[in-house]
Amino acid sequence: MDILIRTLREREKELRCLYQIQRLTLSPVMPLDTVFQKIAGVVGSGWQHPETTGCCIEYHEQSYASSNFDPEAPGLTEPIHMGGRSIGSISVSDPTAADSEDFLTEESILLETISWLLTNFVEWRHLGILGQRLPASQDGHWHWRERLLDGIKEKFDPAQFGTAEICVGGATERGEVEHDSIIELYVSHQGSELEKERLKWWLDGWSHSMAELARIQTGETFAEGVVEIAWLDDPEAVRPPHCRRLL
């Protein structure tokens, strides 16, 4: 009877842990950094030794660890995927364990389940920029960039910016973007220097606004913005052989 009670208590801890994690991943507005840090602090509560079990989430070269995580201690690790590719991991450690074999089978399954929740969460955040779900992660990377381009096309004001021909090149034009791909624009401007300066600042605003949205939602950082512009009136600028006209 005592064994049964202990077993049931362990399963209760695991379910409570999963419930807390799922609640955190369902938040549409909490910054990703905050979500990961809170999850790292919650995970240990589902293990047989919560006092000594630490957790660390690695994502895009950033680490989110609980205060008791020990990278040198025995532990377990599971990958976090996006689009079928590993982009991070979640690990637990316990210095009281002799080796990874000391962890319960149920704890290994629990960590696999948590990594699956985090995979779904990351993909949801990336695709959430679109306001919709898409069947493939790579499609999501391409579509939110297309959404940005549609906004530029719709809001472009010749009265403010003069006449400009804007073309899209690179991975976005080919539909081969990855999660960290930038948008390459090639601009041929016909107008005054003031109009060109206004256009530069306007495109820069689009670029950095979308970069900040991507950072908050997905943790992806674009320090220089998501748009790279080549001005074709610059003697050193070269139009790529394959580009698509936007304007």
The model's pTM is 0.59
Cα 178 versus chain centre, distance: 11
Separation of alpha carbons 231 and 239, rounded Å: 9
Q: If the chain, 247 residues long, is cut into consecutive pieces of 10 residues, what is the mean pLDDT of each piece?
A: 64 84 83 93 93 94 94 95 84 94 90 88 69 43 69 84 85 65 85 86 80 68 82 72 78
Separation of alpha carbons 149 and 143, rounded Å: 10
Residues in Cβ contact with 231 at an 8 Å cutoff, skipping those fewer than 6 apart: 187, 188, 189, 237
As a whole number of Å, the end-to-end CA separation of the chain is 74
Pairing mode, if any, of strands 183-190 and 227-231? Answer: parallel
pLDDT on residue 136: 44
pLDDT on residue 135: 42
pLDDT on residue 44: 94
pLDDT on residue 204: 82
Residue 134 region, left (φ>0) first, then alpha (ψ -120 to 50), else beta?
beta
Q: What angle do CA 48, 57, 33 make, to 5 degrees?
A: 125
Separation of alpha carbons 19 and 12, rounded Å: 10
Instruction: Select from 180, 166, 137 the least CA-distant residue to 230.
Output: 166
pLDDT on residue 173: 63
Mean residue pLDDT across the chain: 81
What are the structural domains, with CATH classification, of the chain? 2-128 (3.30.450.40), 137-245 (no CATH)
Q: What percent of the chain has pLDDT over 70?
A: 79
